[in-house]
Amino acid sequence: MDSIYLDHAAATPVRPEVRACVSEALVHLGGNASGGHLWGRQARAALEEARERVAGVLHTRRERVRFVSGGTESINLAILGRVDWARQQGKTPIRLIRSAIEHSAVQNSMESARLDGAGVEVLPVQPNGHVSLPEDDELRSGQILLTSIQWVNQETGLILPVREIAERCRVAGVPLHVDAVQAVGKIPVRLDDTPIDFLSISGHKLGGPRSTGVLIVSDEVEVRPRLFGGGQEGGLRPGTEDVAGAVGFTLGLELSAGAEGEAARLTSLRQRLEDDLAASIPGLKIHCQEGSRAPHISNFGVPGLAKDVLVGALDLEGIGVSAGSACRSGSTSTSPVLRALYSTDAERFAPMRLSLGWSTTAEEVDDATRRIPPIIARIRSTT
């Protein structure tokens, strides 16, 4: 029996081209990029070329690109680095805004700031993607230090109206951070037509190496480093640069963003997955079906099952799925994202997130839709 991996939203396999690229960089770019000798200059040249290429994909300036260790660091640096700057300037009160369905990296960063006295406002989100942003007069009050809105939700694939929110924030003078970890490479992301101050991306969602990522930083909004040491990455992220990681991240980004027809292919596979499972599993709910969704994520609600049994049962049968964000792995409580979207109705369903990626085939999708319904029926019959 073949195994089927359907958890690409948690981590997608490293692309073969990226593996080869990183391996070559580890062999030939062994110098410290801050060094003044030949080996250092070679490493620095590769790092700056990677920065230029990232900027090209995102349609922004290379000076805005900061290489970091992944999405979590990128998000923490944007939010808490902004808070640290405000405190250093003596700005009070500090007020932060986020949506109700943000990743835990955003939620926990803001909770840390709240425990230190910051005010945090949580904006309701509807299953169709509507975000209840404050009125324009409130946005223009000058009291909001930062707003953080994700582009694509990590559990449901729901696309939030980031371009509209970005325009309103820019007009009101409110700095905006966008978690684009699940968006880049899946939907169009261009910073020349969307005014975003901070953008977070993670390499392992793109077929790049683990522990790589980027923070895009505005020229106009101040932020302090969270680490201290050297002056690397414009002084914002000190430490010897991971040149091999940066060039691997860059290639993964280019391959994901430049794959012609990939979004259409994944959308077709996702629709096939949803249609076949809905026809075979009584009462199946497809979360956020009423909104616009990224092509690679389907989140199902399965009635009549305990929340903690389905993922394990599928794993025993060689099918890799999740109950939601990988950061909530092992949790048996209802997802805060689904609770925020569906209130108490979310309690009635066991969640099952199936996510697709560059290596997913039509044969795997067909095999999954054939094997999953009998497993669910068997669990139901024994509980």
Is the pLDDT reported for residue 326 higher than 80?
no
- Among residues 21, 169, 288, 327, the one annotated as catalytic is 327
Report the Cα 318 to chain-centroid distance in Å: 26
Domains held by the chain: number: 2
Whether 169 is a known active-site residue: answer no
231 and 147 assigned to the same domain:
yes
pLDDT digit string, tens, across residues 211-228: 999 999 999 999 999 999
Residue 146 has pLDDT above 90, yes or no: yes
Both 155 and 210 in one domain: the answer is yes
At 171-203, the pLDDT tens digits run 999 999 999 999 999 999 999 999 999 999 999
Q: What was the pLDDT predicted at 298?
A: 98
* Same-domain status, 183 and 268: no
Q: Which residue from 351, 241, 239, 369 is spatially nearest to 299, judged by alpha carbons? A: 351
Q: Are residues 145 and 181 in the same domain?
A: yes
CATH number of the domain where residue 187 is located: 3.40.640.10
pLDDT over 70 (residue 330)? no
For residues 75-97, give the mean pLDDT.
Answer: 96
> Tell me, what's the pLDDT at 114?
96
- Give 313's DSSP letter: H
Residue 303, both tokens: 């009635």
Identify the domain boundary among 236, 257, 278.
Answer: 257
- Residue 332 or 336, more confident: 336
Q: Nearest-CA neighbor of 56 among 258, 198, 236?
A: 258
Average pLDDT over residues 248-271: 96
Question: Are residues 277 and 135 located together in one domain of the fold?
Answer: no
130 and 59 assigned to the same domain: yes
Given 257, 279, 311, the domain boundary residue is 257
pLDDT bin (cut points 50, 70, 90) of residue 328 is low
Q: What pLDDT is stored for residue 304 in this prediction? A: 87
The confidence score (pLDDT) of residue 86 equals: 96
Residues 370 and 330 in one domain: yes
> According to the model, what pLDDT value does residue 306 have?
86
pLDDT at 329: 53
Burial of 380 (0-12, 13-18, 19+ CB in 10 A): middle
For the question of whether the overall pTM of this predicted structure is more than 0.85, the answer is yes
In terms of domains, do 213 and 332 share one? no
Residues 287 and 202 both lie in one domain: no
Q: Domain check: are 253 and 265 in the same one?
A: no
The answer for residues whose C-beta is within 8 angstroms of residue 381's C-beta and 6 or more apart is: none
What are the pLDDT digits (tens) for 353-370?
A: 999 999 999 999 999 999
Same domain, 226 and 277: no
CATH number at residue 332: 3.90.1150.10
Domain boundary among 203, 225, 257: 257
pLDDT computed for residue 13 by the predictor: 98
* Same structural domain, 154 and 52: yes
The domain in which residue 248 lies consists of 16-257
